[in-house]
Chain A
């Protein structure tokens, strides 16, 4: 098991380096001058542009730029924004909020996705299964931002049940609706995956053996059907954290939440590329770590993996 963890950790490093290099190259090496685009419509004077270039090492060869940036990442020195705020401060403010939001979304999708998926899978072909399946397709088909507006309008404005936007320091209640919106699409996927997995495992040989032992149905379902069906679902949930991060950009934008996504959203509109790259690196890092954790969790869930 230790070797397995060690091997996985070693594999993560090149992936992280590759992914950050890729992003960095895309942002700074693509056609188009990020600095010239900076001041928006007004534009910046040549002197200011020059100053910014040297401040952000943009005047150095690309690979040096990247290495300096990497050094910054490792030492948690992400540099300053154009308004001379340390990027790390902004991150420190935004991360807890997004973390709370993503966690709430993850919990919502795990509970409802697995719950409904289990029931649908156990009664495959039934009325509940059919309804839930069609609903899940609908949810997947409706883009998150449309769902966000509709929820905001119906639940927030028309019914007035939940706050429409979150404030500077959002609490559980004000994050509830954004979390539901954020979770919706993934919930549909989790549900469908659980359903397929359960429906498949229910006719597995070892489940029949468990029934032949005389094990009561509830125990057969939880210990054998559900337990084994969770293996692919957990893998999906971990990988989905990345989708949640991407989705958070939209959701936080709509609900005006000052999280990582919201900050990134604003940084993109104002063209603060340093902030964009820093935040993106952070999200990629979170995503990679989440996937690593999932792999380890996977090994814990499935004893066959540990020795592979």
Chain B
């Protein structure tokens, strides 16, 4: 059992329960926001206890009140938010109602914060070193300039930043996301707080980087004896990193207790839902309600040449180079985004292209969609090279392959009603008269399980998951054979993600669709894909059937990716029971 790391180094001071005073004790905490619609209670009576040196995680979806609770501890509620009831006791002292000066004393020195998004949390105009130094000086670090500089370098190095002294003189935009997050960890731990609040500290990073940073953070806080309060949406990550779990839903704690107990035996219906939906904990492909493996007769008649079982899309030796402008005028370098990539998508099946940012997976997808011209290589669709189509042929080709993109807020035109969004493809390709088009829009909405009344609404009235379903419906409008899903579920909350995945799976069975599924998340791949292509820096690293990749990965990079799935270490044994 390798699940819980660093057990040996855990500096738990006393063994007997009860002898230790809680470090942080939140009881019946209530937080309200004043909005145009009046007072809205975002946190409705939360209880939470953290002991010294312990790690506790709050798990919940967006809007559950988990971040709000955490920010209330050090009085960093945004906007009109304020604590309306309950108490927050820290090291025997009440934090609710402290004046500004007293709170400033607690911040940084007693309680540190590692915030969520490394891209926006460092001030772009100051050097990294300066921003770490501020955290030292503000909390009473005495020392001259040289001593401060040495200490800053020490802190950055301690947070796992190589070449810390030189890095300290750089600006945030010269850092990668992972490096910025390390700088933020250095800031959070600079004055050796007793408690560190880690608010989704790595959710914006690639999985392998995420794992490295979390491992490092865990080791560091153990060494320093710092208690950690994790805020996360990922149940697997929470269970892996914390010993005590607090599950929040709509401003309330629905379940809390030891991590593994909650995971192996969830009691509350919401927690059960979460556990069953968490992709990192799932181990099988979603089963469809419909019969699989058959191509619908409609489709066979629509595209005469199609036979089930053949490869609908074949990419051969795809290469894409971009010119990158250098800092000097006229100078540029070639950047190879996709390097000699070949794969085949069998009809009616799902092929996943997996890779981290910069792996070239989305560039490859855009070439399959015909939105980007390959530098060399071909994309064949039913045996026909799509890069050599005339513009008229290309227009016809558009009907057969459609995309669904990642960002639910960017993929629908906010100015256009849902009806017009779904009707546009039909109108553009001159399909049916007005009446038939309306009937088709209704049918499409039904396919993605949305009420017909949705068509009069606008994107801003819908949730992220609903928008993604509309995007799926738009892609389906022209009866395509292939859908390219470019990180289509990555921005969604777990439950909604599971819902959309199930929907996609059902649609595939019903309509005989072929999916090219682009994702960074191997966990999701297991739920939806039949075959996996793993990409790294523009090249194919591994290509195999999904089970093969999970059970018997052949490449080190694939193994790293698998190990980086949060909660992967928990999988064996514990969950089964």
Contact = CB atoms under 8 A, between A and B. Distances in A.
The reply, when asked whether chain A contacts chain B directly with Cβ atoms under 8 A, is yes
B103 to A, nearest CB: 9
Contacts of B184: 209
Contacts of B107: 211-214
Contacts of B122: 206, 209
B124 A302 contact: yes
A151 to B, nearest CB: 38
B108 interface: yes
A214 B109 contact: yes
Given A213-B187, A214-B105, A208 B123 contact: no
Interface of A is mostly: helix
Contacts of B74: 212
Given A209-B113, A209-B115, A214 B135 contact: yes
Contacts of A7: 329
Interface string A180-205: 00000000000000000000000111
Q: Interface size for chain A: under 10, 10 to 19, 20 to 34, or 35 or more residues? A: 20 to 34
A214 B115 contact: no
Nearest to A302: B125
B78 A215 contact: no
B200 interface: no
Contact of B112 (A206, A212, A215, A216): A212
Q: Interface size for chain B: under 10, 10 to 19, 20 to 34, or 35 or more residues? A: 35 or more
B78 A203 contact: yes
A228 interface: yes
A210 interface: yes
Given A206-B121, A209-B113, A212-B76, A303 B134 contact: no
A203 B328 contact: no
Interface string A1-27: 001001100000000000000000000
Nearest to A230: B125
Contacts of B38: none
A213 B329 contact: no
A301 interface: yes
Contacts of B108: 212-215
B327 interface: yes
A213 B134 contact: yes
Nearest to A205: B120
Contact of B117 (A3, A205, A304): A205
B171 interface: yes
A161 interface: no
Contacts of A206: 120-124
A217 B125 CA distance: 19
A278 B301 CA distance: 78
A209 B185 CA distance: 11
Contacts of B109: 214
A298 B564 CA distance: 42
Contacts of B527: none
A212 B124 contact: no
B123 A212 contact: no
B300 interface: no
Contacts of B124: 206, 228, 302-304
A215 B112 CA distance: 12
A227 B74 CA distance: 24
Interface string B79-118: 1000000000000000000001000111111001101110
Contacts of A228: 123-125
Given A214-B107, A227-B125, 6 more contacts: A205-B120, A208-B76, A210-B134, A215-B134, A217-B104, A304-B171
10 contacts: A205-B120, A208-B121, A209-B115, A212-B115, A213-B107, A213-B134, A227-B123, A302-B124, A302-B125, A304-B173
Interface of B: 74, 76, 78-79, 100, 104-109, 112-113, 115-117, 120-126, 134-135, 138-139, 171, 173-174, 184, 187-188, 190-191, 327-329
